[in-house]
Each structure stands twice: as structure tokens, then as C-alpha cells.
Amino acid sequence: MAKNITSPAEDFSRWYQDVIREAELSDAAPVRGCMIIRPYGYAIWERIQASLDASFKETGHKNAYFPLLIPESFITREAQHVEGFAPELAVVTHGGGKKLDEPLVVRPTSETIINYMFSKWINSYRDLPMLLNQWANVVRWEMRPRAFLRTTEFLWQEGHTAHASEEEAREETLRMLRIYADFAENVAAIPVIPGRKTEREKFAGAVDSYTIEAMMGNGWALQSGTSHYLGTNFARVFDTTYLDSNNEQQYVHQTSWGVSTRLVGGVIMVHGDENGLRLPPKLAPVQVVIVPIARNESDRTRVMEVVDRLKVGLKQKGVRLEVDDSEGSSPGFKFNYWEVRGVPLRLEIGQRDLEEGRVMASPRNAPGREGKFTIPLDSLEKEIPDILERIQDEMLEEAKERMRSRTYSVDTLEEFREAITERPGFYSVWWDGGPEEEIALQQDTKATVRCIPLEQPEQTGKCIMTGRKTGNRVILARAY
Amino acid sequence: MAKNITSPAEDFSRWYQDVIREAELSDAAPVRGCMIIRPYGYAIWERIQASLDASFKETGHKNAYFPLLIPESFITREAQHVEGFAPELAVVTHGGGKKLDEPLVVRPTSETIINYMFSKWINSYRDLPMLLNQWANVVRWEMRPRAFLRTTEFLWQEGHTAHASEEEAREETLRMLRIYADFAENVAAIPVIPGRKTEREKFAGAVDSYTIEAMMGNGWALQSGTSHYLGTNFARVFDTTYLDSNNEQQYVHQTSWGVSTRLVGGVIMVHGDENGLRLPPKLAPVQVVIVPIARNESDRTRVMEVVDRLKVGLKQKGVRLEVDDSEGSSPGFKFNYWEVRGVPLRLEIGQRDLEEGRVMASPRNAPGREGKFTIPLDSLEKEIPDILERIQDEMLEEAKERMRSRTYSVDTLEEFREAITERPGFYSVWWDGGPEEEIALQQDTKATVRCIPLEQPEQTGKCIMTGRKTGNRVILARAY
């Protein structure tokens, strides 16, 4: 077991902090609630960005950049929006050595400023749909910060689109939710439950909010991405209208959707183990590390000759690879170093391996001697991509299996109350409560309604809070 | 000539604004001095980012992310730094609904917060060199804003490195300056003069600042990238030390270097003409636009069949391509649309072209009928990359030729005073003045010392301000 890492079974929250520290993912900033994303943590975010950005562009979205500073009056225009965000705002009152006439808000999200611009850019139905995205930092004052999961400043992307009809905007909302779900499963190896948020949990200013909910290693839920149908709520207050083909002014129907650096926290908590981080190959900044093993200089020369050749060959195949030939540290130190950082596959090559024409492979997801296997040197370049593919599949399957085995069905509040404490997980229950029942549930059990899954049963049952008959099942869980 | 664009000869400043508006590069924000980067402008920035980011990584730098909000006290620690930046700061005084105990500054640059972290991360010489970069937004209150060139918020990258010795840090400073110069010339097709800044013009907190200076279409200079040797100035105030191999504490030697969205302004002003933007192929988000021309539906079907095939083939070759088959607008409208946006190469394909087995090509850098040529359909995929290469070379050569022909050598202040008004350009003069002479020169002629070029003559001459003998020549110009 790696030093300095608490067992996740013993104290998941300390384990999480330990992994972040030991893998050098982030560090605390001098301003409370802010965080420094260290190079290795940032490299994971860059992989997330590259993958999602490609999906956004494939579906016709373009990146733009809107200002950080928003007039305070903008935020107050949409009633629900200001109610939701006012307590979290950072406010610039002085600029260029002077007190400002109107305070400026550091953007907590950009619906208002984007509507201000959309109202200028959109004139006729020919300008629609308008499909924009931005990669940016946002600030929301955070009272209980937690690295990656809840920070006062975080990095994210926010998509903002305007459409001629509700139908089209609703399609877009779900299209982007699907892109998030696909990314989570197929790149981050995180299975998710896509669903709709309740009235209480929805975005401040949205008509409907959708979410993908993922299960962490301790059975808690993490909201990992959201997509909102905003209706005409912002269009009405910013007068974002277009002339339709009958020459009549109409409000645009809008969406917004985002994922943030919080996803990095999700990756840690879904895949990490008692030895540190584990990264699925498609997301890993380093997919393969080669540790050359040499007892003397002549060993070293021969081993490095082969390693250098493999390096070139694997890089050509698009494998993200590091060779750890640093001097002054033992192979054991290096193994630990890359293990804590969750590199999916480690290859060891020594003089004896060369003689036997093979390489020793240690996949991160099957630790210890049992997981090791050898790869013939002459087929290595061909086999590595397949092995990485297999590790990716195995990690997804493992996460799926956990979610399956820790998703329970309960019928009464009493049953749920006991179960959620003993066996944290996802609880599927019949539900037709409103905000009041949600508050009561949370006070009683510390759990919240995570979502109303898109997939619903055909049957009906009795709501665990109201006792009323309903056709809706929801997922309850404790959540970050 | 494109409608709505002032002639650059008549009013360069209005021309610049017109091009930005007509090519939809940016728009004014509701907060004075801020700007919205529209999708097409942002796509140019993305190309700049991709190219530089690859160079940074190739030279061993890693990306990280440091917080937006910095305690005000940090900025005040380095005496020159606070003097330089205090008048430009935006200050957050309220957060989460409360007045803050200590005001926070929105970063104008990150030397201070980065030193705070470096002092934690760097312990021994084994931790050096530390080579980081971040892509981020910064805020510097701007009294005379100008789109891309001077905005209160702008996007940039800032590299920050720490080294064991002055020599190594100075090497790094010049290495990064060279990377900027290479990028400017070989990607943006902008020739530059690399040089050192004078005491008056150097970065607040640096020992030495280096710059690349580019000549705009009106003969003015644009500082297009800077690289600073910071010495131990920040290390001393943040106690950023390391244990050397003799077990003694030493201050690290540091560098910082950056380019910003201002580069987009440079691209516009170097390459643009009376018809709008012109983009060098390596920087162009869209390198080739195909405009299919069809008079009727059967034409259209046959033309589009060929266009679709070309599209697939060219994309496979890595060509960034758009097909403008939008309905409801004339070919002339489309030609103008893409011309204003500076797409390097336009291809027209109609039924008659198909019959003759050719395509009509219009390179943006050789407008009008004279520039047009035909490409045989069956060799088109092969020829396009070469044509783009040629356009790139021609655009660089054109910019070089302008810089050559508008760089003058003068010997006296009188001569310079008259010349700079009549023929704005770069003026090479003998110089050994100090800050006072620089201020006097600027008040007299509105010109500043742009840089002390790295390449210096062997001879000596008489300083145009002090009359003293000197071996230094500098470049004087009016500058943005």
C-alpha cells in the first residue's frame, strides 16, 4: 500500500485529499475556497477539454469568449436567477484606482451577458439556431470548499444556444446531455444516470434542468454535468427576439449546459483505490510508463536502445508515453510514483527481459503480482493499443458493477432512512413530492433527490413521502 | 471594394474597427474596455493557442492553473511591481454577501501568486528547473481601450519558470523569445524585430525585458510578445529558495513570458487590406472555401457530387475547409462574405468547370481577375496544400518587404521629428539615453524606443538625444 494515503474504506474524505496531494493534482490557494490546479491535474482537464470540445464542434457549436465582469444590474434582471446567485457573488467595486459607478460582478455563469449580446446579434430566423460555447473561469463564493468538487473559482465550459422553437431547444438540451453521458461512459469510464432535476434542484432561471449523476466509490452521488432548457425566461428580460418567417417578433428559446473541473474530482472518486489515482486510458495524460531496469552501465546502454525504439514506435501509434529513466531513484520508488498517479500501464524492461525477448507489464487496474503479464517484444507496438482498450473496458465495467450492486429499490421512508446510513448508494423510490418533501427528506436523511431518470418504469407505486400514487421513480442519494 | 470598410490609407484606425465589425471578430461589451471575442475571432485565437501550446510542451513546459483572485497584499510586496500595476487593478471588496477582510485583486499577471506557490513546491535543486505555463484571462483597467490591442480584460498565456542559475534563466528568457519570433514569422507571417526593452519600458519587476516588435500596415509598431528575466526580485520577497548541491539555500532565478489576444489585432493590422481581413493559411480557421455555382437543380446535383468528394479528400489532407452551399444568397454575396473574413483561398465550381475538368481559384492575397487561376480537378487534392504554402510564403514576403522599405536610418533628432510624421515606420538610431531622454523624445515626437535589437552593428555613432558616442542602435516608432 502506498505511503501517506488513508484507506478509502476507513475515511473516504481524507483518502480523497491524500490522493490529490500525493498525485500532485491540486493545492490550496491563499484565498480560501480557491485552488491551484497543478500540472498533472491540469493535464487531466486538458484531456477532458479536448474530447468535449471535439464533440461540441462536431455538433455545430462554435467557441467564443464573453467578459468576466458583468454589470451587477444584469444579474438582477431575471428574478429566479438573482435569487439563486446573489449569495455567491464576488463583487468588484473599484477599478483603475477609483470607486466604480456601478459595481461589477465576477461572472458566476454567463446567461445574462450572453443574452445581452444575443439580443444584438439575433435579428431574424436566419440567424438561428445560434450555437455557442465558451471555456472559462467562473466564481461562486463557496462556504464549504473541497478541491475540484466545490471551489470558489472553477474552470468550466458553458454552452449557450438560441433557437426558433421550444421543440428545437428541448432537442438541443437533451442532445448535449447525451454528449455528456457519452463522454462520461466512453472516455472517463464513469457510468451515469441521466435524468431531470426537481423544481428545487434546477438551475436558477431554467424551465427544466437535466443532469448526469455518477456514483462515487463511497456510494455518494456527484452531479457531473447539467443541461438546461431555459425557455424564454432570459429572452424576455433581455428582449432577445427574432423576426420569424411571417415577419412577426418572437422570443428565442434557449439552452445552456456545462461541465466543470469538478469532473476531475469525479474521476478520482470513481476510479481511485488505496494506492492512489487510477486513470482510464482514454483520459490519462500518460497512458504507458516504461521503467528501464539496469544494474550497470552496459545493461543500461542495451536496455535504452530498445526502449528508445519502442518509444518512437508507440508514439507513432498515438500512445501517450513516458520513459522514466531518471537516475538516483530506485525502480520501487518509480513504480510507486507512477502508481499513485494512476498511469494505466507500466512496462518494465531489464537485461533479462531483453534476453527473453519480452517485457513485463503491470496494469494499474489489476495490482500486485497476479495482475502482471508479459508481452513479447516483437509484438509490443501492436498489442499496446489493444491492452489499453481492454483496461478502459475493464474500468468501465468495474464502475458499472459498483453502481449496479449499490443501487437499491426501497418502498418506504423508514426503510430508506436505515439503508442510506448503512449502505450509501443510489436508492430508487416512487416519488411525487414537491420542494417541501425534498427539504423534509434532506433534514431527515441527509439525502436529496438526485434526478428523475429519463428511463421510467411502466408501473405505478406509492410516493415514499406523500403516500400518493405516482408513475415517477427518482434516485435518492447523499451527494457532494 | 467591400462595402462598409473605410480605406486604410484614409483612416487606418477606422479601417481597423470596420474590419473587426464586418469580419465579426469582436464586439464591445457593456463594461467599458471589455470585449466579446466572437466565434471567428476566437477561432483565430484557438489557432494561435494550438501552435504556441505545442511549442511550449516540446520545450518541456507544462500547463497549470493559478487563481484569478490574489490577496491585495501580494501585489504590494515587490516595490516596482506594485508601482507598475496599482493604477490598473480591479479590486473585489465583497464576496458571498459580505465585505472581505482583505480586498482581492483580479490578477493583472501572476508572478506574485506563482511565487507564493513556487516557495512551497521548490525545496531542492532536484525540483529545478520548474517550467510552467498557464492560459488565462487577466484584467488591467484600461483608459483608452481598443479592440484586441488594449482591453481591460484580455486572454493570454503566461509562462513562469524557476532555475538554479542566472545563466540558465537568461537562456530560457531568450529561448521563449525565439519561440515567439518563430511563431510570428512562420505561422502568423509577421516578421518581427527581437530586442531588449529599455529601463523605462521594461516589465514592472523584471531585471531585463525582451520583446518582439512588429510593423503594422500604417508603419506603427506593435509589441507582440514579451519575455522577462526576473532575476531574484520575486524570489527575495516570496522567499523562493532551494537547497543547492552543497546544501546551501539559494534564491531561484526566474523568467516570465507572455503573448495575448493582442496578437489577433496584429494579424489584422499586418495583413488586412481595403477588402477586409487577410489570414495566412497556417493561422486561418478556414483555409479554403468552396463556392458551388449552380443555375438549376440538375447543375446543383452534379456540382455537389464533385464538391462533396473534394471535401472529403481535402479534409483527409488536413485542409481546413468550408463549403458555402447556403441557399438564398448570390455567389457575389458569398465571395464578399469570405473575402472580408480573409479566407486565403476561394474555389468556385460550376457546371461549365466540371465539363472542362477544372476549378476556378481566387487567392485572397492576389485579388481581382489577375490573381485568378484554374486548377485541374484531378490534381486538385494534391495541389491545394502547395498553393496554401505558397500563399503563406507570399504573405510573409509582402510583410517583410513592407518592413524593409519602411525601416529608415536617421542620425539626428530633427531629421527624425520630420520623418516620423511624414513616413511612419521603424527608425534605427544611435542611442544611449535614459528614461528622461525617452520621455523627452515621446513628448516631442509621440514615438518611443521600441527595443534595442539583439542584432547590433560593429560600429559606433552619436546618440540622437545626448550626442554621446555609443555602440547601441535602437528602433524608434509610434506604437499601439
pLDDT at A395 over 70: yes
pLDDT at A2: 54
pLDDT at B328: 86
Q: pLDDT tens-digit profile of B392-428?
A: 999 999 999 999 999 999 999 999 999 999 999 999 9
In a 3-state reduction of DSSP, which class is residue B447? coil
In a 3-state reduction of DSSP, which class is residue B470? strand
With a pLDDT cut of 70, the percent of chain A lying above it is: 99
Of all helices (H) and strands (E), which one includes residue B20? Answer: helix B12-22
Which amino acid, A50?
Answer: A
Q: How far apart are alpha carbons A118 and B62 in whole angstroms?
A: 36
Residue A12 sits at φ, ψ, to 5 deg, of -60, -40
Interface test with B, best of A65, A66, A76, A264 (most B CBs within 10 A): A65
Nearest to B78, CA basis, from B216, B187, B228, B224: B228
pLDDT at B174: 98
Q: Give yes or no for a contact between B362 and B329, defined as CB atoms under 8 angstroms apart.
A: no
Contact B67 A132 (CB under 8 A): no
Q: Give yes or no for a contact between B176 and B227, defined as CB atoms under 8 angstroms apart.
A: yes
Q: How far apart are alpha carbons B88 and B150 in whole angstroms?
A: 12
Q: How far is A292 from chain B (nearest CA, A)?
A: 20
Q: How deeply is A359 buried, as exposed, middle or buried, from its count of CB atoms within 10 A (0-12, 13-18, 19+)?
A: buried
Q: How far is B74 from chain A (nearest CA, A)?
A: 10
Q: Give yes or no for a contact between B7 and B273, defined as CB atoms under 8 angstroms apart.
A: no
Interface test with A, best of B37, B45, B92, B132 (most A CBs within 10 A): B92
Contact A37 B65 (CB under 8 A): yes
pLDDT at B317: 95
Residue A477 sits at φ, ψ, to 5 deg, of -165, 165
Average pLDDT of chain A is: 96
Chain A residues touching residue B87 (CB < 8 angstroms): 96-97
Q: How far is CA B80 from the centre of its chain?
A: 26
Nearest to B136, CA basis, from A37, A110, A33: A37
ipTM for this model:
0.96
Q: pLDDT tens-digit profile of A312-343?
A: 999 999 999 999 999 889 999 999 999 999 99
Which amino acid, A259?
Answer: V
Contact A67 B36 (CB under 8 A): yes
HEC sequence for chain A: CCCCCCCCCCCHHHHHHHHHHHCCCEEECCCCCCEEECHHHHHHHHHHHHHHHHHHHHCCCEECECCCEEEHHHHCCCHHHHHHHHHHCEEEEEECCEEEEEEEEECCCCHHHHHHHHHHHCCEHHHCCEEEEEEEEEECCCCCCECCCECCEEEEEEEEEEECCHHHHHHHHHHHHHHHHHHHHHCCCCCEEEEECCCCCCCCCCCEEEEEEEECCCCCEEEEEEEEEEECHHHHHHCCEEECCCCCEEECEEEEEEEECHHHHHHHHHHCECCECCCCCCCCCCCEEEEEECCCHHHHHHHHHHHHHHHHHHHHCCCCEEECCCCCCCHHHHHHHHHHCCCCEEEEEEHHHHHCCEEEEEECCCCHHHHCEEEEHHHHHHHHHHHHHHHHHHHHHHHHHHHHHCEEECCCHHHHHHHHHHCCCEEEEECCCCHHHHHHHHHHHCCEEEEEECCCCCCCEECCCCCCEECCEEEEECEC
B87 touches chain A (CB under 8 A): yes
| Closest-CA residue of chain B to A105 | B92
In a 3-state reduction of DSSP, which class is residue B156? strand
Q: Give yes or no for a contact between A8 and A274, defined as CB atoms under 8 angstroms apart.
A: yes
Q: What is the mean pLDDT of residues A50-79?
A: 96
Say whether the peptide bond before residue A39 is cis (omega within 30 degrees of 0): no
pLDDT at B335 over 70: yes
Chain A residues touching residue B39 (CB < 8 angstroms): 62-64, 132
B25 touches chain A (CB under 8 A): no
| Closest-CA residue of chain B to A103 | B92
DSSP assignment of B341-399, as one string?
TT-SEEEEEEHHHHHTTEEEEEETTS-HHHH-EEEEGGGHHHHHHHHHHHHHHHHHHHH
Q: How far is CA A265 from the centre of its chain?
A: 7
B147 touches chain A (CB under 8 A): no
B28 touches chain A (CB under 8 A): no
Alpha-helix residue ranges (DSSP H) falling in B27-106: 39-58, 72-75, 79-85
Q: How far apart are alpha carbons B20 and B24 in whole angstroms?
A: 6
With a pLDDT cut of 90, the percent of chain A lying above it is: 95
Q: How far is B387 from chain A (nearest CA, A)?
A: 27
Give the strand pairing for A473-477 and A448-453: antiparallel
| Closest-CA residue of chain B to A73 | B30
pLDDT at B2: 54
Q: Give yes or no for a contact between A454 and A196, defined as CB atoms under 8 angstroms apart.
A: yes
B117 touches chain A (CB under 8 A): yes
- The CA distances from residue B255 to B123, B210, B440, in Å, are 18, 11, 31
Q: Give yes or no for a contact between B276 and B282, defined as CB atoms under 8 angstroms apart.
A: no
B375 touches chain A (CB under 8 A): no
Q: What is the mean pLDDT of residues A434-442?
A: 97
Of B67, B90, B132, the CB nearest to A29: B67
Crossing angle of helices A380-405/A297-316, nearest 10°? 70
Select the more confidently predicted residue: A50 or B77: A50
Select the more confidently predicted residue: A2 or B85: B85
Q: How far apart are alpha carbons B182 and B202 in whole angstroms?
A: 22
β-partners of residue B476 are B427, B449
C-alpha cell at B253: 532565478
Q: Which residues contact A34 (CB under 8 A, 6 or more apart)?
A: A28, A145, A151, A152, A153, B67, B68, B69
With a pLDDT cut of 90, the percent of chain B lying above it is: 94
Q: How many CB atoms lie within 10 A of CB A368?
A: 8
B315 touches chain A (CB under 8 A): no
pLDDT at A368 over 90: no
Contact A30 B113 (CB under 8 A): yes
A113 touches chain B (CB under 8 A): yes
Interface test with B, best of A35, A48, A57, A92 (most B CBs within 10 A): A92
Q: How far apart are alpha carbons A94 and A73 in whole angstroms?
A: 16
Nearest to B436, CA basis, from B460, B463, B473, B415: B463
Q: How deeply is A181 buried, as exposed, middle or buried, from its count of CB atoms within 10 A (0-12, 13-18, 19+)?
A: buried
Contact B94 A90 (CB under 8 A): yes
Q: pLDDT tens-digit profile of B236-254?
A: 999 999 999 999 999 999 9
Chain B residues touching residue A34 (CB < 8 angstroms): 67-69
Contact B132 A39 (CB under 8 A): yes
Q: pLDDT tens-digit profile of B184-225?
A: 999 999 999 999 999 999 999 999 999 999 999 999 999 999
C-alpha cell at B28: 464591445
- The CA distances from residue B455 to A401, A471, A475, B400, B410, in Å, are 66, 79, 69, 17, 18
pLDDT at A346 over 60: yes
Contact A90 B92 (CB under 8 A): yes
Of all helices (H) and strands (E), which one includes residue B101? Answer: strand B98-106
Q: How far is B219 from chain A (nearest CA, A)?
A: 30
Contact A87 B74 (CB under 8 A): no
Q: What is the mean pLDDT of residues B279-283?
A: 98
Interface of A with B in 393-432 (CB under 8 A): none
pLDDT at A389: 98
Contact A87 B104 (CB under 8 A): no
β-partners of residue A154 are A138
pLDDT at A258 over 70: yes
Q: What is the mean pLDDT of residues A224-232?
A: 98
Q: What is the mean pLDDT of residues A261-282?
A: 98
Contact B92 A92 (CB under 8 A): yes
Of B38, B95, B143, the CB nearest to A96: B143
Q: Give yes or no for a contact between A223 and A211, defined as CB atoms under 8 angstroms apart.
A: yes
A70 touches chain B (CB under 8 A): yes
Contact B42 A30 (CB under 8 A): no
β-partners of residue B453 are B195
Q: How far apart are alpha carbons A14 and A11 in whole angstroms?
A: 5
β-partners of residue A425 are none
In a 3-state reduction of DSSP, which class is residue B280? coil
Q: Give yes or no for a contact between B366 and B307, defined as CB atoms under 8 angstroms apart.
A: no
Average pLDDT of chain B is: 96
Q: How far apart are alpha carbons B23 and B412 in whole angstroms?
A: 42
Q: Give yes or no for a contact between A451 and A211, defined as CB atoms under 8 angstroms apart.
A: yes
